[in-house]
């Protein structure tokens, strides 16, 4: 039997909830190779049947979060008819709450996203983070809510995207001693700038592992101690000049670093 795990994500909205669950479940089976097929905005029986038929063809397992009650029931019935395992992770919880509180669910697809201004702000923030990643366009520094500075491998990009999911527009700039700092950086309010640093030994090991992942010699100038110390010293001098907050990311998770930034900005992690 093939070790390929075909997981079909079916939702009447974007399907983020089902996809996260599918990934969490797949992680429990490291010997299997997960393949995710996503079917968002399934709101008609025709589209539902098509998705389930595809799952049958590929010997797949379906995870669905169909809020529209009739579709959820049809998914269950049709999946049983064609012999496709179909896990409804939405309906049982909704029905239990409905019964306990004698409240009828809305049955509105995608209610968790509440496609309002807040949702679209979040999408816009994510697009902003991608557009202005790695200093691609200096004008982004002037438009950003937060500007992250740091040498290579200090978690600038993943931190930018994490904060973007809190509806914050984040731009970041990699610091290289030989590169000129854009003039825009000096025009940004220092309270919006976060300088990321790390421990030399930690940075050296991160860089070595990156070279190994690329199939390159890990013992090169990029990961050499003298180079790492030079870059960190250069970054720290810039931070002192800017008068910005500095965070050492060496032994912190992305979530922990983000929390420090949000506190510095006067924002609660639940504000967005």
Shared fold status for 4-101 and 117-264: yes
pLDDT reported for residue 1: 57
Residues in the chain: 272
pLDDT along the chain (272 residues), means of 10: 88 83 90 91 91 94 89 94 93 86 76 58 87 94 97 93 92 96 97 97 91 88 94 98 97 92 81 50
Question: Residue 10: CB partners within 8 Å, gap ≥ 6?
Answer: 18, 39, 42, 48, 51, 52, 62, 63, 64, 65, 66, 75
Coil/strand/helix, residue 6: strand
Q: Which CATH number fits domain 117-264: 1.10.10, 2.40.128, 3.40.50, 1.20.120?
A: 3.40.50
What would the two tokens of residue 204 be? 């050296």
Residue ranges of domains in the chain: 4-101, 117-264
pLDDT tens digits along 131-140: 999 999 999 9
Closest CA to 216 of 229, 203, 207: 207
pLDDT tens digits along 29-67: 989 999 999 998 888 999 999 999 999 999 999 999 998
Please tell us whether the domain made up of 4-101 is placed in CATH 3.30.1330.40. no
pTM: 0.60
What would the two tokens of residue 152 be? 């290579």
Distance CA 77, CA 98 (A): 22
Read off the DSSP letter of residue 152.
Answer: T
CA geometry: angle 244, 249, 256, nearest 5 deg: 95
What would the two tokens of residue 178 be? 């030989």
């Amino acid at each position: 039997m093939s070790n390929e795990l075909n997981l079909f994500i079916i939702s009447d909205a974007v399907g983020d909830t089902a996809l996260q669950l599918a990934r969490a479940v797949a992680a429990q089976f490291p010997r299997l190779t997960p393949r995710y097929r996503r079917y968002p905005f399934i709101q008609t029986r025709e589209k539902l049947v098509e998705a389930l038929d595809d799952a049958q063809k590929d010997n797949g397992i379906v995870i669905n979060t169909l809020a529209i009650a009739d579709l959820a029931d049809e998914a269950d019935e049709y999946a049983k008819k064609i012999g496709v395992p179909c896990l409804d992770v939405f309906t049982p919880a909704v029905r239990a709450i409905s019964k306990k509180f004698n409240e009828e669910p809305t049955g509105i697809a995608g209610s968790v996203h509440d496609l309002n201004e807040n949702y679209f702000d979040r999408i816009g923030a994510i697009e902003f983070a991608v557009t202005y990643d790695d200093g691609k366009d200096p004008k982004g520094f002037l438009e950003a809510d937060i500007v992250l500075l740091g040498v290579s491998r200090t978690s600038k990009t993943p931190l930018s995207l994490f904060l973007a999911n809190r509806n914050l527009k984040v731009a970041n700039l990699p610091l290289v001693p030989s590169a000129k700092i854009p003039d825009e950086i000096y025009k940004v309010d220092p309270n919006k700038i976060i300088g990321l640093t790390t421990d030399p030994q930690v940075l050296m090991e991160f860089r070595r592992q990156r070279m190994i992942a690329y199939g390159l010699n890990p013992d090169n100038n990029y990961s050499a101690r003298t180079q790492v110390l030079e870059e960190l010293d250069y970054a720290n001098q810039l931070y002192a000049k800017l008068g910005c907050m500095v965070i050492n990311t060496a032994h912190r998770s992305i979530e922990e670093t983000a929390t420090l930034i949000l506190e510095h900005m006067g924002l609660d992690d639940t504000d967005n």
